[in-house]
Structure 1
Amino acid sequence: MAGRTESLQNITMTGGGAYSLATRGAEDVINAATQIVLEALDSINISENQDLFTFSDMGTADGGTSLKMVEKLIHSLQKIAPQININIVYADQPKNDFNGLVQTVLGLGHFTSYLESTKNVFPLFSANSFYKQILPDNTLDFGFSATAMHWLSAKPCDISHHVHMVGAQGEEYQRFSEHGKKDWETILLHRARELRSGGQLVLANFCRDENGKYLGNTTGVNMFTNFADIWQGFLDQGRIRPEEYRNMTLPQYYNTVEEFSAPLKKSESSVYLAGLRLKKIETRITPCPFAEAFKDHQDAQRFAEEYIPTIRSWNESIFFGALDIQRPLKERKKIIHDYYQTYQKQVQESPELHRMDYVHAFIVIEKI
């Protein structure tokens, strides 16, 4: 087991707008959060003559999944203050596809942009991740993030016999748990500095819910266990080496409701002392759109061909990065291609067993 945390070099979502096209479920989650966003907006004291409002979308990827929600927020704001100037700050880590993000927001990609139907709206782009302060102190009115903050700032260690913390045990699990706790507090402390008094945060974060369910583990095949089993099979077949198997650990942590809530409720915590208060937290399961569609069309091949890209969009870079860079590029690409083809074949053979339901904690936080 590694004795130190490992900096992250390989986390990228699929670029060119393909991420939002492939991850329809992620958009469904944001659409489900929209009413929560608008209710939180209503709690902010906005005057008719207010001249500026700043909103941030953190961990935005290519920006496509939040377009509809942002448009509704803008229209709600402009009903209150028709002449208000609105900054929409899109933030993600430096390796994000910012060209794709800009094209999406400006309406030059696959999606219609809210900029075509609004005025006095100014999109801004930041390559600071949510592990850093993105905006100056006391300038943010509303912060938002969805399906992003489960990515850790570093990999705490390699997991011996799995690829994700949901399968970790003993000391390895403890290292992920401690790292997840510190990262969550870091995220919150940066937001506490950015937010104005009365400002709101709405976060839709992956979690382990009250029944132990999490992404890809609501019924049928456990997605993460299947990842590990296929990767183990490649090791057994000699397709990958032992060190490549060990390197394939997803740098993610799924908090529980209790873990999300703790720093916002304990009066002695640095987060609480910085002024953040938990207003609301609830868990929801958003059905896998591809599995739901399969119930109607009953085409196993179509389901498999639609389902695998949504998985591949957020973890291919990690699997690819686990392979020895001394391998020829063509060989590495072949291994990754065959890996996802193996998964796709399983889905096509037993489609009723596979689905990637989204399990989120919807969190509303206020700065007093």
Structure 2
Amino acid sequence: MEQARVGWQPAPMETGGCYNRHSQHQAAGGAHGLPMIGQAFAAMALSGPVVLADYGCAQGGNSLRPIAAALGCAREAVGPEPAISVVHVDQPANDFAALFTLLRDHEESYLRADPNVFASAVGRSFFGPVLPAETVDFGWCSFAAHWLSAAPVARAGHVWPHLTAPAIHARFAAQAAADWRSFLAARARELKAGGGLVVVQPGLGEGVASTFPVLMGWTQEVLAAMEEDGMLRPAERARMTILVHERRADEVRAPFADGAFAGLELVAEEAQPMPDPFWPAFVADGDAEALAGRHLGFFRAPFLPSLLAALDPARDAGFRAAFTASLESELRQRMLAAPQPLLEPMTIHAALMRKVG
């Protein structure tokens, strides 16, 4: 029965704008790729309808700044009159309502600044084609490409793939390598000749075995205790693996080892360590409650939906709320007892690729 679960896909983010409220860490990481936007447009000769694609948009909060920068570059090239299309891409179950509400209401929305920009969305996995061939001038993808398309095993044995047993971890690494190639091949198909793609993703630095080793270690302990106490069924607990796999720099470069890959050439890359963004405030004020709240918000926004998706379908809303409250309470107790940086060690890898031709 469990074998049938192999291939299950990552769950969409929590609705109601939760990700927008708790993704400051992802926003700060994505900023590492902003300088590459200008580099991408500097080498382009824009012609015909201009299309910008935002791959892995989530609820849109972290897309405003990079898309505005790309629009600024495009306007410099084509002037104020031509219409420009911005297409936001994410899973079918993504909270697109929060995205379009943000684009309508946010004071920094690019739609407010330019009446000749038109936003749309595609609900489809970006591990395959999402837009017509040779129609995209520029693509942006930040903190999304490290999610896997599917689970390579039914029982991983740990909530965090980098902390699984070596043989299991190898399966996740192989899945991540195949997914990266699929993602790049699909983007190569969609980009116009000379078009640019910037991908920013969290990664592992030299000698680092896993990001979030303490946070995910605690999560593993709490989930195991929930199973032991009977709150979680064994099959549910076995499915609770968050489908992400942060790549090392050599894994990002691997498809380009022999030059261009699927029509894409790697133009520039940069890897920088990123410390826990919440830790400096704690050092300044010593407020452990505030630190725990920020860490829990970060955990809940991207990762909690994956755990909830592993519950049996018959579990009702009341149980799901109780599970969430229990998990967060146990994690909070650990965070208060031992305040420390939890969102590191992490390396942010930014890469600029260009369609050959």
TM above 0.5:
yes
Q: 12-21 vs 76-85, which deviates more?
A: 76-85
CA RMSD of aligned residues (A): 2.2
**Residue 156 of structure 1: how far off its partner (Å):** 0.8
User: Residue 61 of structure 1 contacts residue 92 of structure 1 at CA under 8 Å; is this kept in 2?
Assistant: yes
Picking from 279, 293, 299, the partner of 2:287 is 299
TM-score normalised by the chain length of structure 1: 0.89
Aligned to 2:187: 191
Alignment of 1:217-366 (within 5 A): 217=213, 222-266=214-258, 272=261, 274-355=262-343, 358-366=346-354
Q: 1:123 aligns with which of 95, 119, 122?
A: 119
Displacement of 1:191: 0.8
**Residue 62 (structure 2) pairs with residue 65 (structure 1):** yes
Provide Cα deviations, 1:196-223, integer angstroms capped at 9, x if missing partner: 1111110001222223265425xxxx22
Deviation at 1:226, TM superposition (A): 2.1
Distance 1:159 1:166, change over 3 A: farther
State whether residues 288 and 355 of structure 1, in contact with CA within 8 Å, keep that contact through their aligned partners in structure 2.
yes
* Separation (CA, whole Å) in 1 of partners of 2:48 and 2:265: 27
Q: Residues 213, 292 of structure 1: CA spacing in aligned structure 2 closer, same or farther, 3 A cutoff?
A: farther
In the TM superposition, residue 76 of structure 1 has moved relative to its aligned partner by: 2.5
Aligned to 1:182: 178
Q: Show structure 2 runs of 5+ residues with no match.
A: none
Distance 1:34 1:172 in 2: 35
Work out whether 1:54 is the aligned partner of 2:51.
yes
Q: Distance in 1 between matches of 2:56 and 2:31?
A: 16
Partner of 1:33: 33
Q: In structure 2, how many angstroms separate the alpha carbons of the residues matched to 1:354 and 1:90?
A: 30
Aligned-residue offset at 1:43: 2.0
Identity of aligned residues (%): 26
Q: TM-score, normalised by structure 2?
A: 0.92
Once the two structures are TM-superposed, the CA of residue 125 in structure 1 deviates from its matched residue by: 0.9
Shift of 1:30: 2.2
Partners of 2:287 and 2:193 in 1: how far apart?
A: 53
The 1:116/1:328 distance shift into structure 2, 3 A limit, reads: closer
| Contact in 1 for aligned 2:10/2:147 (Cα 8 Å) | no
The answer to whether residue 71 in structure 2 is matched with residue 74 in structure 1 is: yes
Between the aligned partners of 1:17 and 1:32, the Cα distance in structure 2 is: 24
How big is the shift at 1:91? 0.4
Cα contact 1:30–1:66 (8 A) shared by 2:
no
Give, in whole Å, the separation in 2 of the partners of 1:213 and 1:360. Answer: 15
- Cα 1:37–1:25, aligned 2, differ >3 Å: closer, same or farther? same
8 Å Cα contact 2:276-2:341 kept in structure 1: no
Whole-Å separation in 1 of the counterparts to 2:5 and 2:186: 21
CA distance in 1, matches of 2:210, 2:87: 29
Residue 209 and residue 358 in structure 1: after superposition, are their counterparts in 2 closer, same or farther (change >3 A)?
A: closer
Aligned to 1:91: 89
Unaligned runs of 5+ in 1: none
Distance 1:101-1:262 versus aligned 2 partners, 3 A rule: same
Q: In structure 2, what is the Cα distance between the partners aligned to 1:111 and 1:320?
A: 33
- Alignment deviations for residues 38-59 of structure 1 (CA, whole Å, 9 cap, x no partner): 222212234xxx4532111101
Count of residue pairs the alignment pairs up: 355
Letter in structure 2 aligned against 1:200 = G
C-alpha distance in 1 between matches for 2:164 and 2:209: 16
Q: Which residue of 2 aligns with 1:211?
A: 207
* C-alpha spacing 1:311/1:60, structure 2 compared with 1 (3 Å): same
Residue number in structure 1 paired with 2:11: 11
- What secondary structure sits across from 1:289 in the alignment? coil
